Amino acid sequence: MSKICVYPGTFDPVHLGHIDIVRRALNIFETVVVAIAENPKKKPLFSIKERVDLFQNAVKEFDGRVIVESFEGLLVDFMKKYNTKICVRGVRLFTDFEYELQIAMTNYKLDKVETFFMMPSQDLIHISSTIVKDIAFHFGSLDGLVTEYTAEALRKKVREVLKK
């Protein structure tokens, strides 16, 4: 089996904690496939195309070792495309772990997918996409939370939403 893993999520938007998980996963795996879920239940701020673009920009430093693409449907079906049964999930808090454990056990039941849980670095563990969006909508500083490219996209998106 090749050393490839899938890192799924909504990533609305990608933040430095997500990039930290990718960086650390690349210490273990040759390739990380970032699988961005359509997930209309969450009512994302950014379109699927925008989220893919933001993540691709955020991982350009990894010299082609990271593939970013969107998917719909079951993660286990998407993973077949890459012939892997290894999933990486970031967890920050115990409450994250409970939810992620349910998903991991379901994916294992569905198709024997093994899930590796990784915590972001201590200086990034507090960051979530929800917090990043809240800060952006209150015109706070996004320094140390997202890349400058994502910060610019967030500021632009906030202006668009507030004009409506």
Tell me the catalytic residues. Answer: 18, 42, 92, 129
Residue 127 labeled ligand binder = yes
Residue 62 labeled ligand binder = no
Q: Are 11 and 55 in contact (CB under 8 A)?
A: yes
Q: Are 156 and 24 in contact (CB under 8 A)?
A: no
Residue 61 labeled ligand binder = no
Residue 155 labeled ligand binder = no
Contacts of residue 120, Cβ cutoff 8 Å, sequence gap at least 6: 17, 20, 21, 90, 92, 127
Residue 142 labeled ligand binder = no
Residue 55 labeled ligand binder = no
Rg (CA), the chain: 16
Residue 19 labeled ligand binder = no
Residue 18 labeled ligand binder = yes
Task: HSE, CB side, 13 Å, CA atoms: give it for residue 135.
Answer: 17
C-alpha angle 150-71-17 in degrees, rounded to nearest 5: 35
Which of helix, strand or coil describes residue 8? Answer: strand
Binding-site members are: 10-11, 18, 42, 75, 89-92, 100, 124-130
Binding-site members for ATP are: 10-11, 18, 90-92, 100, 124-130
Binding-site members for substrate are: 10, 42, 75, 89
